[in-house]
């Protein structure tokens, strides 16, 4: 493979990453907004401080349809984003061991997302809760690996690994709070806003990585 073929391949990966990331991020935003619009009229006082995202996902008819459908569509789509991102970083010398580690952790996290979305807690609370640690801890591992590797790659703007670490902090805070709430050490409302922060930080991460690493010149 000559230099021109390598450059052409890099451009192809960059364009694909940008397109898929923007589509994934848009589906994520629309899923939350549409679910919220369908949920709010029947629930006075609805705010990100009073209502879990999973509450909307467990509410019959349209809130559940909008939220869970977007999650089920976005789970494999976001894994494609991750695969393209790993390929992009590999082009800059990230290494195969890193690539396989991230993809393996990403597959576990994706499985947890699908489990939570396909089985709302109103349908089977035990199964739904089983997906929570799989998803959230999977995200923590993936984002930690990405953040550490991106920080070492000079071609990657510092903003991107910082966003990775921000996602890690949001997810760890939420996970700790939800576990404390489950044991009765905290009230049920304590983890609500951190859950929204988890969703927001991951959406920002998707858009930022797609727009920045999706540039054909890589800068």
pLDDT in tens, 62-82: 888 999 899 889 999 999 999
Looking at residue 4, its pLDDT comes to: 44
Looking at residue 126, its pLDDT comes to: 72
Distance CA 12, CA 37 (A): 37
Average pLDDT, integer, range 38-60: 88
Looking at residue 44, its pLDDT comes to: 87
Contacts of 169 (CB under 8 A, 6+ apart): none
Instruction: Tell me: pLDDT of 9 over 70.
Output: no
Q: What is the mean pLDDT of the chain?
A: 87
DSSP at 40: G
For 104-136, the pLDDT digits (tens) are 999 999 988 887 777 766 666 676 677 778 888
Model pTM score: 0.89
Residue 210 CB coordination number (10 Å): 24
Please count the residues of the chain.
219
Give me the residue spans of the domains in the chain.
3-213
Instruction: Tell me: pLDDT of 33 over 60.
Output: yes
């Amino acid at each position: 493979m000559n230099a021109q073929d390598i450059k052409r391949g890099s451009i192809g990966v960059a364009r694909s990453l940008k397109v898929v990331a923007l589509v994934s991020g848009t589906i994520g935003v629309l899923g939350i907004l549409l679910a919220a619009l369908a949920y709010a009229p029947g629930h006075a006082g609805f705010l990100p401080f009073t209502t879990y995202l999973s509450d909307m996902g467990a509410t019959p008819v349209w809130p559940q349809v909008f939220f869970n459908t977007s999650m089920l569509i976005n789970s494999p789509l976001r894994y494609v984003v991750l695969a393209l991102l790993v390929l992009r970083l590999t082009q800059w010398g990230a290494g195969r061991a890193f690539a396989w580690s991230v993809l393996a952790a990403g597959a576990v996290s994706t499985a947890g997302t699908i489990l939570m979305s396909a089985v709302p807690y109103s349908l089977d609370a035990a199964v739904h809760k089983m997906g929570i640690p799989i998803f959230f801890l999977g995200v923590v591992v993936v984002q930690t690996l990405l953040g550490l590797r991106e920080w070492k790659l000079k071609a990657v703007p510092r903003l991107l690994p910082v966003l990775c670490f921000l996602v890690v902090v949001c997810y760890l805070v939420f996970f700790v709070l939800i576990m404390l709430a489950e044991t009765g050490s905290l009230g049920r409302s304590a983890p609500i806003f951190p859950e929204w922060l988890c969703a927001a930080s991951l959406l920002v991460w998707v858009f930022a990585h797609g727009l920045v690493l999706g540039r054909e010149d890589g800068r």
